[in-house]
Homo-oligomer: A and B are copies of this chain.
Amino acid sequence: MTPATRRRARRGQGELLRADILAAAEQLLIKTGDQGAVSIRAIADAAGVTPPSIYLHFADKAELLGAVCEARFAEFSRYIEHATEGIDDPMEALWEMGRAYVRFGLENPEHYRIMFMTRPPAEGLPPDKLPGLNAFSHVVEAVARCMDAGAIAAGDPFLVGTNLWTAVHGVTSLLIARPDFPWPDFDRLMGLVVDVQSKGLRP
């Protein structure tokens, strides 16, 4: 981790602090597992710096959390891609993506919260630059492959992809937000969700 006390960076190396702040914020979020505990002051402390220094690199807290998410979205995208490696059957690949999606959310609940369960940290940015849209395009492509293979009824891959997104997000976010609910066995539930989508999307 970042040392508790920092030495002033060399001239021209001011950007180093930015990386340290991001790392500190990420670590704090993972360790405490509570978004409320990730305060500007706590982040500054963990980075061995005073609170105002953070504003040299981020306009406000929302932008900072947005930047943390951006990195997380990249990992999310890689995680999902990796889950389908070596799977030839397009339908099998699609379900594996779905399972990977849910798994990622449950393994990183506080990150998932920021990514998909709160209002976007940075609002009103160009719709083609939305974080996570990259990962989503993988889903749409996977859907298109399934359509080509005749495993899914022909139609709008984007629409079907959005439907699949809402399905996996529904499971993930409810499990995170309502842990006290008397949930049925996870594998049974996930199996049913996949099964319903599978049957429901068939030609």
Instruction: Note all chain B residues with C-beta closer than 8 A to A192.
Output: 159-160, 163
A14 contacts partner chain B, Cβ-Cβ < 8 Å: no
Query: How long is the Cα–Cα vector from A188 to B118 in the complex, in angstroms?
Result: 25
Q: State which of B118, B123, B171, B196 has its C-beta within 8 Å of the C-beta of A180.
A: B123
Complexed CA–CA distance, A116 and B176 (Å)? 10
Q: Number of copies of this chain in the oligomer?
A: 2
**A117-B117, A173-B173 in contact; A166/B193 too (CB < 8 A)?**
yes
The answer to whether A127 and B200 touch (CB under 8 A), given A117-B117, A166-B170, A169-B170, is: no
Complex Cα distance, B182 from A165, in Å, reads: 13
Residues of B within 8 A of A118 (CB): 117, 177
Bound complex: CA of A167 vs CA of B200, how far in Å?
13
A158 to chain B, nearest CB (A): 6
